[in-house]
Amino acid sequence: MTTTSALDPDRFMHAVWGTTEFDSSSPTHEVDDAAPAMFTWDYEKGARPQLSRLYEKAKGAQWNAETDLPWDTDVDPEALAGIATAGFRALTDRLPEGSPLQRWSDADWVRFGVETQRFAISQFLHGEQGALLVTAKIVESVPWIDAKFYGATQVMDEARHVEVFAKYLDTKLEGAYPINNDLRSLLDALMADERWDLSYLGMQIMVEGLALAAFGLMRTITPDPLLEQLLRYVMADEARHVAFGVVSLAEVYDGLTAAEIADRQAFAFATAEALQGRLRQQEVFERLGVDHPETLELLANNPMQQMYQQMLFSKIVPNLKKIGLLDAGDGWLRQRFGELGILHFETAADTSADYEEFALTASP
Ligand SMILES: [Fe+2]
Ligand SMILES: [Fe+2]
C-alpha cells in the first residue's frame, strides 16, 4: 500500500468514527455537530448558474408521496423474495459441512428472501434520514446563497424519501430493521465533522451515488409495480442531488491544497469501505439464527453478491473523477479503487447532468 503521511483512511474520522454513544433501545440518537452555521449577505441569485438551474429544476419537480404513488397495490413479499436470494441459492450444493442452510426448506429460503428485502429497504430508509439531516446541515453551513436555496429543496425531497420508505416498510413489509452499525457510524461522522465540503462528499457523492445505483438495480429486478414506481420517483430526485454535489465540489476542490485534497481522498476511501459493510447483512443472518462462519464466508463471496457490490460504485467512481479526487496527488485513490475492482467505472457517465435522464417528465 502506498502511504504518505496525509493518506491515512482513518484520519478524517479522528474523533468521531465509532466513538458516538449508541443505545439501540432509545427512540432517538444524538450527535454533536461541530460545523459553524454560516450567514451570507451576498444574496445575488444565479452567481453560480449551474446551482441556480438545479434549484429551478427542483422547484418544478416536486411530487407528493401520498397521492402520486399507487399505495393500494397489493404487495406479496414472498413474490419479491426469490430474486433477492437467487445468488445465494445457487450455492446450495457448495455449502460447507455443518452448515445450517443444508437443512433449509423452501419456506426457509423464502423467509431469508423476505428478510433480505426488508433489511435492504430499511437501510435505504435510515440512509434517507441521514440525507435529510446532513442536507439540513449543508443549508446551514455552506456560504453560497445558490447552494442554500438548492439545498432547501433537497431537504424537502429527503423528507419525502423518508416518508415513502417508512410507509412501504410499515404497510407492505413487516416494519424496519434497526440501522446498520457501519452506516450509522458513517452518518454520525458526516454530522459531526466541522468541514462543510465533507458533508457534500460523504452524502451527495458517496451515499447518494451508491443509493442511485442500488435503487436502479432494485428497480430493474423488482416484480412489485409500487416499489418500481417509488424507486423511479426517488431516483429522479437523487440524480439531481448527486449533480448538486458534483457541481459544488468541482469548484471547492479546485482551490484546496494538496494535503487537503489527500485528506478528501482518504475520506472517500474510508466511506466506500463503510458503505460495503452493510452489504454483508449480518443482521439478517443473526435474525435467522445462522451462526456458522464458513457459511457466512461462502455467502459473502458469492459471485452475484460481488458483482452487485461492484455495481454500487458505478456512479461514485466517475463522479470522484469529475471532481478531481480520483487522480489527485500520486493517484492513491485510483490504486485503491483498482484493488477493489471498481476502477473500470471511471469511464461511466458522471452525474453532473444525469438528472436530465432521470427527470420524471422525460421517461415513463
Ligand atoms: Fe433521498
Ligand atoms: Fe438524496
For the chain, what are the domain ranges?
54-61+74-358
Question: Which pLDDT belongs to residue 5?
Answer: 36
What's residue 2's pLDDT? 35
Which residues, chain by chain, have CB under 5 Å from ion ligand 2?
Answer: 131, 208, 238, 241
Interhelix angle 332-339/258-277, rounded to 10 degrees, is 20
Please report, as a single letter, which amino acid is at residue 21.
E
Distance 154 CA to ligand 2 centre (A): 7
Distances (CA, A) of 231 to 121, 140, 266, 363: 11, 28, 31, 14
- Which ligand lies nearest to the CA atom of residue 234 in the structure? 1
Task: Write down the pLDDT at residue 94.
Answer: 85
Distance 204 CA to ligand 2 centre (A): 7
CB neighbour class for 26 (10 Å; exposed up to 12, middle 13-18, buried from 19): exposed
pLDDT at 17: 56
What pTM, to 2 d.p., does this model score?
0.91
Grid cell in block for residue 88: 445465494
Residue ranges near ligand 1 (ion) with Cβ within 5 Å: 128, 131, 158, 161
- 3-state helix, strand, coil split of the chain in percent (to 5) is 65, 0, 35
3-state secondary structure of 258: helix
Give distance in angstroms: CA of 242 to centre of ligand 2: 7
Per-residue pLDDT of the chain (364 residues; tens, 9 = 90+): 333 334 444 544 443 455 567 888 889 999 988 899 999 999 999 999 999 999 999 999 999 999 999 999 999 988 878 777 777 777 888 888 899 999 999 899 999 999 999 999 999 999 999 999 999 999 999 999 999 999 999 999 999 999 999 999 999 998 999 999 888 988 998 998 889 999 999 999 999 999 999 999 999 989 999 999 999 999 999 999 999 999 999 999 998 999 999 989 988 988 888 777 667 788 999 999 998 999 888 888 778 778 888 888 999 999 999 999 999 988 889 999 998 889 999 988 777 666 777 777 644 3
The pLDDT of residue 278 is: 64
The secondary element (H helix, E strand) that includes residue 63 is: none
- The CATH homologous superfamily to which domain 54-61+74-358 belongs is Ferritin, core subunit, four-helix bundle (1.20.1260.10)
